[in-house]
Amino acid sequence: MSHPESLKKLQHTLESFLERAVGQKEQRLAVLEGINRLDDIARNELGDMTGEAVGEWFARHNHQLEQGDLRPGDIDRIGHILHEIKGGLNRNAGSPEVRKIASEINRWEGAARRSRRSLTLKRGPELKTAEDDSISLFGKTLARASGMFLEMSAGRKHLLSVLDESLKSAEIQKNRETLLLSAFIIYYLKSGGYKVEPYVKRLKEAERLQKEASSYA
């Protein structure tokens, strides 16, 4: 493979990584928005409008559980809120609409219990893995870097701000994942025509500091 082809392949890999990271961030924000909306419903006085609001919530957010978008903590929090709502609805259980919503909550709770068991079963084999191949290790490194990108990019408006924080972490904390994340972002910006020379110098310095720290470890 020629050098230009290698660069093009690397560029495609980095762009795909950043696109996935942005997609994961949007997905996470949608989950948090749904939980906050359900919490708002529970805080209102439980009346005729509550059943309608819960029904609309299920219509918009049921797929998050079915697609595996929810974390165990999300499932527990949603379950707790729904339990409170169901308790209030049971005090006005004469309406067919209220009984339907209560039944839907029961169905969701059952699906949530199955989802939690599935998450537990899926995590087991990871602990038993003694050695990973290079592809698996690289994939895990990308996942960790992606998670850091999501955290660092929250509330920021420009990728350069994320790069600055990532480089600071690489320099001060000697974090390998933030060093790699910085390299990803620098190459991405360079491919878009940004002047990245100062950041390249900081990247090299951070790499030097990490090598020194490893040699003294």
Q: What is the DSSP string of 128-194?
A: H-----HHHHHHHHHHHHHHHHHHHHTT-S-HHHHHHHHHHHHHHT--HHHHHHHHHHHHHHHHTT-
Q: CA 188 to CA 199: how far, in whole Å?
A: 12
Q: How confident is the model at residue 80 (pLDDT cuts 50, 70, 90)?
A: confident
Q: CA 64 to CA 115: how far, in whole Å?
A: 11
Rg (CA), the chain: 23
Q: CA 150 to CA 144: how far, in whole Å?
A: 10
Torsion, CA 175, CA 180, CA 170, CA 123, rounded to 10:
-30
Name, in order, each residue with C-beta under 8 angstroms of 56's C-beta and a sequence gap of 6 or more: none
Q: Is the pLDDT of residue 3 over 50?
A: yes
Name, in order, each residue with C-beta under 8 angstroms of 64's C-beta and a sequence gap of 6 or more: 30, 31, 34, 70
Q: Is the pLDDT of residue 129 over 50?
A: no
Q: CA 151 to CA 24: how far, in whole Å?
A: 11
**Tokens 């955290």 sit on residue:** 151
Q: Is the pLDDT of residue 132 over 60?
A: no
- The proportion of the chain whose per-residue pLDDT surpasses 70, expressed as a percent, equals 69
pLDDT at 155: 82
**Tokens 């924080």 sit on residue:** 165
Name, in order, each residue with C-beta under 8 angstroms of 100's C-beta and a sequence gap of 6 or more: 51, 55
SS3 content of the chain, % helix, strand, coil (to 5): 85, 0, 15
Does the pTM surpass 0.75? The reply is: no
Considering only residues 64 and 122, tell me which one the structure prediction assigns the higher pLDDT.
Answer: 64
